[in-house]
Amino acid sequence: MNYISVVIPAKNEEKTIGRVISAVRNKADEIIVVDGYSNDWTREIAEKEGARVVLQTKEMFPGKGNAMKTGLNVAKGDIVVFIDADMESIEPDWITLLTQPIINGETDICKAEYKRGPLDAPVTKLVAKPLLKTLYPDLNVHMPLEGEIAARKSIFEKLEFREDWGIDVGLVISAHKQGFRIKNVFLGEKIHKPSYIEDVAELGPMAENIIQAIINSKNGEIMQNIREQILKEISASKESGEPVPSFFLQTLQNNFKSKNNF
């Protein structure tokens, strides 16, 4: 028996939260809305619709990652599905589509992908995907910034959770680096609240979080490789009785800077 928890991070989503809860109600054993200190009726509507409502552990914005981690920590299910609260096109079968491949043992993680318009998802198309293609060319995730993702709770607990808007791409990078299988799951057309109203520059802070998440993850990987090289050189030095060459650390530092332009 697989117990499914649906976690919905939300902040000021009174117009859509009721529909999202209603859509997943018969497909989930538990629905948790993690509220980011909304100043509208999001919490009240969610409670009326039967969801368990909790506040994210930190009153911060952006705090989507903090909300998701909060929801994961209180979820009772052995499978957890995260769903964005602003979805207008959500259908009940999304939960089945995202969880059945996991139940069947086909994959470890299911990540949503959608039909998107040519002017939609600018941060994904112009920031996230080019960076991922450059730094993680073997990471095959079609839409890394989508919020709909499912996995067993035990797997999510092994992943790195950023607290800001970098959470979605950060999770797939963390999963990829640990060797977990990720399956792209097509859910149809996505209709949701626009990410910006008049000027795409409104997405600047989000883009900054995405860039930080991707580059910082790569920096950590590179620094780990450098540490391993240093330890090998020190070990070799102890065995041979020869000192570590004084230029060794400087060479590593120069290589790190030249290869990554940081």
Q: Is 253 exposed, middle or buried (0-12, 13-18, 19+ CB in 10 A)?
A: exposed
Query: Is-contact 108 185, C-beta < 8 A?
Result: no
Distance separating the N- and C-terminal Cα atoms of the chain: 49
pLDDT at residue number 75: 97
> CB 118: neighbour CB atoms within 10 A?
6
CA gap 145, 143 in Å, rounded = 6
pLDDT at residue number 251: 56
CA gap 45, 68 in Å, rounded = 19
Look up tokens 């409104």; give the residue: 202
Look up tokens 């002017």; give the residue: 119
pLDDT at residue number 207: 87
Query: Is-contact 5 68, C-beta < 8 A?
Result: no
Would you give the DSSP letter of residue 192? B
pLDDT at residue number 250: 54
> CB 182: neighbour CB atoms within 10 A?
20
The CA angle 34-141-110, to the nearest 5 degrees, is 50
* Sign for the pseudo-dihedral over CA of 183, 189, 192, 198: positive
CA gap 154, 134 in Å, rounded = 30
To the nearest 10 degrees (0 to 180), the angle between helices 17-24 and 93-103 is 50
User: What are the structure tokens assigned to 81, written together?
Assistant: 């599905």
- Closest Cα to residue 2, out of 82, 81, 67? 81
Identify how many contiguous H helices and E strands the chain contains and give both numbers: 10, 7
CA gap 65, 9 in Å, rounded = 9
Look up tokens 């994210």; give the residue: 56
pLDDT at residue number 116: 79
Mean pLDDT of successive 10-residue segments in the chain (262 residues)? 94 95 96 96 96 93 93 97 93 96 97 85 87 91 94 97 93 96 94 64 85 84 66 67 54 54 50
CA gap 162, 168 in Å, rounded = 9
Query: Is-contact 209 165, C-beta < 8 A?
Result: yes
pLDDT at residue number 223: 63
